[in-house]
C-alpha cells in the first residue's frame, strides 16, 4: 500500500511538471525541448517509477495467486517506490522552478516524504532486503541471482529489445558481489550490508521491468493495470532503467567491496572481470537516444502513450 502511495505521488508530481514545461518558454523555446531539463528532471524519474510499478504489480499478482506473504518483495516494492516517488516529487519542484503553492507539487513532496519513513524506514527496508536475500544466496550456494540472470538471458533470446540482457548483467554482478562479501565476511560492516540491500532492490526491479515490458508486448498484462505506455515505449524505459541498475550494482558494489577490504591490484583486476564491468559500460551505448525517445513519448511528440 505504501509502495503504491509512493508511485502515485511521484507520478502526480511529474504530471504537473510535464505540462508546465511544455508551456514554459525559456531561451527561445519550451523547457520540454531542452535535453538538459528533460533528461535530468523528467525521464530518469519516469524510468524509476515504472520499475517500481513493475515490481509492485508483480508482487501483488504473486500474493493474489499464491497467498504467500512475500515480505522481502514487499520491502523491495516499498523501498523502491517510496524513494522513487520522493525523488520524482523533489525533481518536480525543481522542474516547476520553485515552491509555488498553486502547482500542488510542494504539497505532494511533503506528503510523499513520509512514505520513506513510516511502515518501515528505508534503512530498515535495506536491512530486511539484504538479510533475507543473503540467506537465499547461502542456501543456493551463490546461484540464486545467477539463475535469475540466466532466466532473463533466455527471455532476451526471443525479446531482444526489453533490456533483459542488461538486467541479467546486473544480476550476475550482484551474485559476484554477494559471494565476495561472503568470502571476505564484509557484511560485518552494517553499511556494506545496507548498501547491498539497495543494490538488490535495483537489480530485482530491473528484472521485473524487463518482464513487464515483455508481457506488455505479448498482450499478457492484467487488463486492470495502468496502460500509460505502449510496448515500444515500455521496452525503451526498461532499457534505460536496466542500464542504471546494472551500472549502479557494478560501480557502487566495487566501491563498498574495495572500501571495506584490502584488495591488491591483481585481485582487483580479476574482480572487475568477474563483474563484467566493461560489458556493463558497453550497454550504456544508445542511452541518450533512448532518453530522447522517452522524452518524445512523454510530451506526445511521438506515439507511445
Ligand atoms: C506522519 C506519521 C505517521 C505515522 N503513523 C504511524 C502509525 O499509524 N502507526 C505506527 O505504529 N507508527 C506510525 N508512525 C511512526 C513511524 O513508523 C516511525 O516514525 C518510523 O518507523 C521511525 O521510527 P522512530 O520514529 O522510532 O525513529 P528511530 O527508530 O529513532 O529512527 C531514526 C532514524 O534512524 C534509522 N535507524 C533506526 N534503526 C536503525 C538501525 N538499526 N540501523 C540503521 N538505521 C537505523 C531509521 O531508519 C530512522 O531514519 C508514523 C510516523 C509519522 C511521522
pLDDT at 304 over 70: no
pLDDT at 303: 77
Residue 100's pLDDT band (boundaries 50, 70, 90)?
confident
Which residues' Cβ are closer than 6 Å to ligand 1? 114, 117-118, 121, 123-124
What is the average per-residue pLDDT within 74-94? 98
Nearest residue (CA) to ligand 1, atom 5: 118
pLDDT at 80: 98
Mutation pick for ligand 1 pocket among 86, 117, 131, 192 (CB with most ligand atoms within 8 Å): 117
Helices (H), the chain: 2-23, 35-41, 43-66, 71-95, 105-113, 122-139, 144-158, 164-183, 190-217, 231-259, 265-274, 277-282, 287-298
Please give the mean pLDDT across all residues of the chain: 96
For residue 119, the ligand 1 atom closest to its alpha carbon is 17
What is the average per-residue pLDDT within 266-295? 97
Phi, psi values for residue 15, rounded to 5°: -70, -10
pLDDT digits (tens, 9 = 90+) for 125-147: 999 999 999 999 999 999 999 99
pLDDT at 223: 87
Question: Hey, what's the cell of 230?
Answer: 505502449
233, 209 contact by CB (below 8 A): no
How large a percentage of the chain has pLDDT more than 70?
99
Q: Is residue 147 assigned to a domain?
A: yes
Mutation pick for ligand 1 pocket among 5, 124, 127 (CB with most ligand atoms within 8 Å): 124
Q: Is residue 142 assigned to a domain?
A: yes
- Ligand 1 centre distance from Cα of residue 226 (Å): 31
Query: Does residue 17 share a domain with residue 99?
Result: yes
Instruction: Specify the number of domains making up the chain.
Output: 2
Query: Does residue 182 share a domain with residue 58?
Result: no
For residue 118, the ligand 1 atom closest to its alpha carbon is 17
Q: Is residue 193 assigned to a domain?
A: yes
SS3 228: coil
Which residues, 6+ apart, have CB-to-CB distance to 236 below 8 Å? Answer: 290, 293, 294, 297
Q: What is the CATH number of the domain that holds 263?
A: 1.20.140
pLDDT at 103: 83
- Ligand 1 centre distance from Cα of residue 194 (Å): 17
pLDDT at 204 over 70: yes
- Ligand 1 centre distance from Cα of residue 182 (Å): 30
Query: Does residue 264 share a domain with residue 136?
Result: yes
Q: What is the CATH number of the domain that holds 92?
A: 1.20.140.10
Backbone CA torsion sign across 126, 132, 133, 135: positive
pLDDT digits (tens, 9 = 90+) for 16-46: 999 999 999 999 999 999 999 999 999 999 9
Query: Does residue 231 share a domain with residue 138?
Result: yes
pLDDT at 264 over 90: yes
pLDDT at 305: 64
C-beta contacts of 23-32 below 8 A and 24+ residues apart: 24/97, 31/95, 32/295, 32/299
pLDDT at 54: 98
Query: Does residue 110 share a domain with residue 162?
Result: no
pLDDT at 243 over 70: yes
Q: Is residue 171 assigned to a domain?
A: yes
Cα angle 117, 74, 206; round to 5: 100
For residue 122, the ligand 1 atom closest to its alpha carbon is 47
Q: Is residue 294 assigned to a domain?
A: no
- Ligand 1 centre distance from Cα of residue 70 (Å): 22
For residue 117, the ligand 1 atom closest to its alpha carbon is 20
What is the average per-residue pLDDT within 246-267? 97
Q: Is residue 305 assigned to a domain?
A: no
What is the span of the domain harbouring residue 144? 122-286
For residue 123, the ligand 1 atom closest to its alpha carbon is 47
Range in 140-149, 217-226, 262-271 the model is least confident about: 217-226
Q: Answer with the one of 100, 116, 132 that is the final residue of a domain.
A: 116
Mutation pick for ligand 1 pocket among 123, 127, 129, 130 (CB with most ligand atoms within 8 Å): 123
Q: Is residue 244 assigned to a domain?
A: yes
Nearest residue (CA) to ligand 1, atom 29: 121
Nearest residue (CA) to ligand 1, atom 15: 118
Query: Does residue 205 share a domain with residue 72?
Result: no
pLDDT at 99 over 80: yes
pLDDT at 157 over 70: yes
For residue 121, the ligand 1 atom closest to its alpha carbon is 47
Amino acid at each position: 500500500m505504501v509502495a503504491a502511495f509512493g508511485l502515485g505521488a511521484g507520478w502526480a508530481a511529474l504530471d504537473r511538471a510535464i505540462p508546465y514545461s511544455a508551456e514554459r518558454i525559456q531561451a527561445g523555446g519550451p523547457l520540454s525541448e531542452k535535453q538538459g531539463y528533460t533528461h535530468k528532471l523528467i525521464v530518469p524519474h519516469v524510468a524509476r517509477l515504472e520499475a517500481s510499478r513493475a515490481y509492485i504489480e508483480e508482487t501483488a499478482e504473486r500474493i493474489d495467486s499464491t497467498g504467500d506473504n512475500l515480505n522481502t518483495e514487499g520491502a523491495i516494492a516499498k523501498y523502491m517506490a517510496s524513494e522513487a516517488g520522493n525523488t520524482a516529487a523533489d525533481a518536480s519542484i525543481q522542474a516547476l522552478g520553485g515552491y509555488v503553492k498553486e502547482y500542488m507539487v510542494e504539497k505532494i513532496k511533503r506528503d510523499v516524504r513520509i512514505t520513506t519513513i513510516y511502515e518501515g524506514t528505508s534503512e530498515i527496508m535495506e536491512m530486511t532486503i539484504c538479510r533475507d536475500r543473503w540467506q537465499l544466496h547461502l542456501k543456493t550456494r551463490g546461484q540464486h541471482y545467477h539463475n535469475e540472470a540466466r532466466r532473463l538471458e533466455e527471455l532476451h533470446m526471443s525479446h531482444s529489445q526489453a533490456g533483459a540482457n542488461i538486467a541479467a548483467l546486473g544480476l550476475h554482478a550482484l551474485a559476484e558481489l554477494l559471494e565476495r562479501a561472503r568470502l571476505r565476511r564484509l557484511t560485518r560492516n552494517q553499511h556494506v550490508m545496507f548498501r547491498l540491500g539497495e543494490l538488490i532492490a535495483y537489480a530485482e526491479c530491473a528484472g521485473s521491468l524487463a518482464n513487464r515490458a515483455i508481457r506488455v508486448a505479448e498482450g499478457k498484462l492484467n487488463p486492470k493495470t495502468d496502460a500509460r505506455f505502449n510496448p515500444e515505449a515500455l521496452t525503451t524505459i526498461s532499457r534505460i532503467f536496466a542500464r542504471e541498475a546494472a551500472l549502479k550494482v557494478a560501480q557502487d558494489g566495487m566501491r563498498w567491496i574495495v572500501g571495506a577490504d584490502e584488495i591488491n591490484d591483481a585481485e582487483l583486476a580479476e574482480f572487475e572481470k568477474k563483474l563484467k564491468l566493461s560489458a556493463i559500460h558497453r550497454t550504456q551505448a544508445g542511452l541518450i537516444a533512448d532518453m530522447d525517445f522517452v522524452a518524445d513519448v512523454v510530451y506526445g511528440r511521438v506515439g507511445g502513450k
